[in-house]
Amino acid sequence: MQKSIIIIISLFCSACSYLPEPIGKENEIIIISSPEDKPHVERIMGNLFSQIIYTPQPESEFSIIFKDPWELGTVNKYGNILIASLDFPEDSTGDYLMKRFTKNHEKKQPLYILENLYANNQIVCGIHTLDAISMENEINNNGDWILKEFRNSVESRMTHNIYKHGTNDSLSNMMFDYFGYKLDLQPDYKIIKADSIKPFLWIGRGYPYRWITVHRSKKDNYLQKKTAWDQLSVEFTDLMPSIKISEHYKSTENYKASESKLYTMRGIYEHEESSSGGPFFVYIFETETVKEVILVSGFVNYPGHEKILLLKQLEIIANTFQKGDI
C-alpha cells in the first residue's frame, strides 16, 4: 500500500507543469526518512543543522520537521526538503522513494540537490548511503556545502518576500545625501531619528519592531576587535541614549563574502524606553575614504516571540549596502 502511494505521488509530481510559490517558513527544512532510518538520520542531521543564535533565548537557525516517505505529497511544496535514505537498515518506503528519485533524475552520486522540483525557489537535497557511518562521512565531507545551499535558499526566498512590494527610494536617496551610500529599503520603513550633521540615520518599521541605524566612524576605532566593543558602546550612547549593549552573548565574526566589510559584531541590547530589548548586529563597511568606516546596525524588538527570521530580514537589507549614484 505504501509503495502504491509513493508511485502515485511521484507520477503526480512529475506531471505538474505549473510551479506554485513555496509554503512554510523560509528556514523550515522538511526531512523525509523511513521510520527505520529516522533514529540515525535524526542524530546526523541534528548535528548538521545545530547552529544557534541567542536573541537572547537560544533559537535554531533552521527549523527541522521530520516526515515519513508516504507523506511526501503533503509537504512537497515546502521550500527546503531533504530526503535521506540508508540501505541498512533495510526498509520498503524510504529505500523505494530514493530509488525513484535517483532513477527519474539520473542522480547516481550519494549526495545531490534538485532545484524548483515541486515549487519555485525550492531546493530538494537527496542523500543516499550504505549505512549511518557512511552518511556521517558524507556529511563531514560536504556539510559546509549543504549548509551553504540551504542558507542561499532561505536568503533567496526572504529577499523575494522583502522586496515584493518594491523599495523606498526616498529614504534610500536621503541616506545617499547623508553618507554617499545606499540601502535597499522596504516601502514601510519610516524615519525615527535623523541628524545630517553627525551624520546619523535611525529608521524602522512597525510591530514587530525592526530598526536600522547608519553612522560613520573612524576606521582606527574598529581595527582591533577587543576594543571595538568599547567604542561601539560610546557611539551608541551618543547617538541612541536609550540603547544599552548587554555584556552577554557578544561575538565578532569575519565576513569573507564581502571585501568591503571588516567584520560583523553581534550581541544583545536593552531598550530603556520600552523596558525590553533583543538581538542586534553591526556590519562594519569600509568606504572610499581610507580612514573611515560606515556602521550599519540592525535591531529586533519582539518580546516573547521568535526573532531569528526578523533578524535575517535586517541582515539581507544591510547586505544591499552600496555606493550611491549621483
Conformational region of residue 172, where left means phi above 0, alpha means psi within -120 to 50, and beta covers everything else: alpha
* Cβ(204)–Cβ(212) below 8 Å: yes
pLDDT truncated to tens, each residue of the chain (326 aa)?
444 444 434 544 544 568 999 999 999 999 999 999 999 999 999 999 999 999 999 999 999 999 999 999 999 999 999 999 999 999 989 988 998 888 888 888 999 999 999 999 999 999 999 999 999 999 999 999 999 999 999 999 999 999 999 999 999 999 999 999 999 999 999 999 999 999 999 999 989 999 999 999 999 999 888 899 999 999 999 999 999 999 999 999 875 545 677 789 999 999 988 889 999 999 999 998 889 999 999 999 999 999 999 999 999 999 999 987 64
Q: For the chain, list the domains and their CATH numbers.
A: 2-162 (no CATH), 169-323 (3.40.1000.10)
pTM comes to 0.90
